[in-house]
Structure 1
Amino acid sequence: MPLKIVYKPYTLHFRKQAGTSRGVLTQKTSWLIKITDTEKPGVEGYGECGPLPGLSVDDLPDFEAQLADVCETFNDLDLDVFPFNLGIILDQLVPQHLPSARCGIETALLDFMNGGRRTPFKSAFSKGHTGILMNGLIWMGSYDNMLEQVEEKLSQGFTTLKMKVGAIDFDKECRILETVRSRFDKDSITLRVDANGAFTPENVHSRLNALAKFDLHSIEQPVKAGQHDLMAELCGVSPVAVALDEELIGVFDYRGKFALLKKLMPPFIILKPTLLGGFGHTSEWIEIANRLKIDWWITSALESNIGLNAIAQYTATFQNALPQGLGTGQLYTNNFESPLYIENGHLYYQPDAVWELPDYSFSEQV
């Protein structure tokens, strides 16, 4: 029998409000994918389609209707999947403007091909032998709240902190960085900041100069995406190393990826598989970055543990020494229990732990 795919929406609820430069999040909806084959009873491949509000190309009012069309086509085609035809299936089945759908279906197919054990990518990490070094994320909030988050992350053993900037008063944000630096030098604590495009052409140079005093590792997306001449200038002259993030979203053609990185030549790029169209597309960015001698790290994008697990396992296959941006289930009150856990600023996977999967029937949605 051919493969069958079903989906169902699932709304994740934040434990605390998550502040970004695009607003405050209290909940987020993902569409969970399951793939089965009646000839392989008990083998179920799971994935997550998680468009990010205000950022994903496929943050669309009719996303679910378009996903339903993709699933219906999938079920009509009598598909079998193998490593050699995975990319072909995805290219033919999922439109480019649905990158999170492609990522979720790709994850489910990889999981299915590997026996339906939630190990789409096998490595020392998925066997529980090694961990992934992470940065601790400081969400936007009040001055006191952000300082509280810093203390919490330091107590959890993180040696790299990433702080969102651009939403509260810039002077207050600098005071927080100054407080951290007064206690820990750059050899003790690495500081990253993420502006999410919040700076303007008029103030970006002065703000980068102000931030440079705090011995920062990098700044993500200092100005809004699409200003290529300005971004190329910043990548060349900024006193804080620039990392591209939103700039990569919506670029799916290989030649377009190469042309973008060749023009801008950033020190770093940040890769979010859910927003970039899955792991095949992410691997293209990595291959091009390596050719151009651009460093990179991988970041999750508010997925549940189902999506996060796949991204973490994929990340582990590269053995990248830089701290990665992989959040955990601690964000949500109703996440799925999983083998993922944090210890001393590292993400680990405990392979003998039990997965909690959705407790409702997927058969209601096709």
Structure 2
Amino acid sequence: MPLKIVYKPHTLHFRKEAGTSRGVLTQKTSWIVIVTDSEKPGVSGYGECGPLPGLSVDDVPDFEAQLANVCSIFNELDLDVFPFNLGIILEQLIPENRPSIRAGIEMALLDIMNGGQRILFKNGFSGNNEGILMNGLIWMGSYDNMLAQVEEKLSQGFTTLKMKVGAIDFDEECRILEAVRQRFDKNTITLRVDANGAFTAENVRERLARLAAFDLHSIEQPVKAGQHELMAELCAASPMPVALDEELIGVTAYRDKFALLKKLMPPFIILKPTLLGGFTATSEWIEIANRLHIGWWVTSALESNIGLNAIAQYTARFSNPLPQGLGTGQLYTNNFESPLTVENGHLYYRKEVAWELPGHALAEPA
């Protein structure tokens, strides 16, 4: 061919402060990678390496140097890519403890394999204007701020809301959930909550009991990851279904994935491809979850529209009826213009809308 990779950091700026139990986010940096083919001028594959601060395995100070090294090795090898060798390239070129690099380069390679048109997976979403049902995300903030977010999401047609809990006063968080339930029962509005590991072994049972009064669909990661005995107990005995999220991060071997889910047997798992090592790795979690009759849904991890588009197209392959967590594309003031649009609580890919993407004048790996 040969294929070549270049990259560039892109700092995304939030429209509003985004509060989680790990702190408040105002900006987030992703590295955009572009793969080109010397024999096909003008054809490019785009991907996004987007480690999440404080959560990704590869949230490390020398991340860019490690990405540059991977790209440099790739460029030296004169690689060609096909469906049969994509997994081999990713496994042998990129360490498993660099999941967002694997995810971003996988996106770019899938894009160029399919013609460099930002159509990584051909399905009803990417080709036929079929929407993906989503949950509306309510960020942590003051009582009035969070209630205003609820009103905004309801006005936008969302029928599933996911509220971050664990950072402000727990009584106020319960008041917000109560206010929603006084207006809408569980058959009208589905409520999910995400604790991001904020509860402790001492208070988690009492808090789950209080939250159960609001007819919740599920609670994500009630306690910090790694407490397997406690989490197994909560998955079995919680008055509402538990969904694992951070618990999956850093687990890379197939046998370890199976052993974890077999031991904890959660009702649901949450899958963030950027944090798990890309689509090949995510598909392993899905295969195991299906074998163990564990439900799942996919969530973006604050990627730009480049990463979100790839994740949404991947998600659409499975026709999962549960609301997915793919609503983060509207968070930023400087996102890339794309065909992605949110309408009536669904994500759509409107092919008539053009992409506006960074050009090829990016950083050549040293």
Query: What does residue range 14-53 of structure 1 map to in structure 2 within 5 Å?
Result: 14-53=14-53
| Residue in 2 that maps onto 1:8 | 8
Secondary structure at the counterpart of residue 29 of structure 2: strand
Contact 1:8 1:365 in 2 (8 A): no
Structure 1 distance, partners of 2:162, 2:360, is: 36
Change beyond 3 A, Cα 1:201–1:147: same
Contact 2:34 2:360 in 1 (8 A): no
Which amino acid is the alignment partner of residue 20 of structure 2? T
| Residue in 1 that maps onto 2:214 | 214
| Residue in 1 that maps onto 2:260 | 260
Change beyond 3 A, Cα 1:34–1:360: closer
| Residue in 2 that maps onto 1:93 | 93
| CA deviation vs aligned residue, 1:4-27 (integer Å, no higher than 9, x gap) | 011111100001111010000110
Which amino acid is the alignment partner of residue 266 of structure 1? P
Which amino acid is the alignment partner of residue 313 of structure 1? Q
1:129 CA displacement: 2.7
Secondary structure at the counterpart of residue 286 of structure 1: helix
Which amino acid is the alignment partner of residue 299 of structure 1? T
| Residue in 1 that maps onto 2:205 | 205
| CA deviation vs aligned residue, 1:122-143 (integer Å, no higher than 9, x gap) | 1010013310000000000000
Secondary structure at the counterpart of residue 270 of structure 1: strand
| Residue in 2 that maps onto 1:273 | 273
Structure 2 distance, partners of 1:38, 1:234, is: 54
Structure 1 distance, partners of 2:328, 2:269, is: 21
| Residue in 2 that maps onto 1:361 | 361
Structure 2 distance, partners of 1:132, 1:220, is: 21
| CA deviation vs aligned residue, 1:84-118 (integer Å, no higher than 9, x gap) | 00000000000011000000000000000000000
1:329 CA displacement: 2.5
Unaligned 5+ runs, structure 1: none
Secondary structure at the counterpart of residue 230 of structure 1: helix
1:362 CA displacement: 1.5
| Residue in 2 that maps onto 1:80 | 80
Contact 2:300 2:328 in 1 (8 A): no
Contact 1:138 1:161 in 2 (8 A): yes
1:42 CA displacement: 1.4
Query: What does residue range 1-366 of structure 1 map to in structure 2 within 5 Å?
Result: 1-359=1-359, 361-365=361-365
| CA deviation vs aligned residue, 1:199-243 (integer Å, no higher than 9, x gap) | 000000000000000000000000000000000000000001000
1:353 CA displacement: 1.3
Structure 2 distance, partners of 1:324, 1:70, is: 32
Secondary structure at the counterpart of residue 105 of structure 2: helix
Structure 1 distance, partners of 2:25, 2:197, is: 18
Structure 2 distance, partners of 1:107, 1:165, is: 32
1:363 CA displacement: 4.8
Structure 2 distance, partners of 1:302, 1:128, is: 26
Secondary structure at the counterpart of residue 126 of structure 1: helix
Contact 2:192 2:217 in 1 (8 A): yes
1:365 CA displacement: 4.5
Contact 1:110 1:120 in 2 (8 A): yes
Structure 2 distance, partners of 1:231, 1:139, is: 24
Secondary structure at the counterpart of residue 151 of structure 1: helix
Contact 1:196 1:224 in 2 (8 A): yes
Structure 2 distance, partners of 1:327, 1:45, is: 23
1:41 CA displacement: 1.2
Contact 1:194 1:221 in 2 (8 A): yes
Answer with 121-130 or 75-84: which moved more: 121-130
Which amino acid is the alignment partner of residue 66 of structure 2? Q
| CA deviation vs aligned residue, 1:162-181 (integer Å, no higher than 9, x gap) | 00000000000000000000
Structure 1 distance, partners of 2:196, 2:19, is: 12
1:40 CA displacement: 1.0
Contact 1:234 1:242 in 2 (8 A): yes
Which amino acid is the alignment partner of residue 48 of structure 2? E
Secondary structure at the counterpart of residue 33 of structure 1: strand
Could you state the TM-score of these two structures normalised by the residue count of structure 1? 0.99
Contact 1:269 1:295 in 2 (8 A): yes
Query: Alignment length, in residue pairs?
Result: 366
Runs of at least 4 residues off by over 6 Å: none
| Cα root mean square deviation, aligned | 0.9
| CA deviation vs aligned residue, 1:262-287 (integer Å, no higher than 9, x gap) | 00000000000000000000000000
Structure 2 distance, partners of 1:323, 1:133, is: 5
Unaligned 5+ runs, structure 2: none
Structure 2 distance, partners of 1:55, 1:349, is: 29
Structure 1 distance, partners of 2:68, 2:364, is: 12
Secondary structure at the counterpart of residue 30 of structure 1: strand
Structure 2 distance, partners of 1:217, 1:22, is: 23
Change beyond 3 A, Cα 1:11–1:277: same
Which amino acid is the alignment partner of residue 62 of structure 2? D
Which amino acid is the alignment partner of residue 128 of structure 1? N
| CA deviation vs aligned residue, 1:130-157 (integer Å, no higher than 9, x gap) | 1000000000000000000000000000
Structure 1 distance, partners of 2:131, 2:34, is: 27
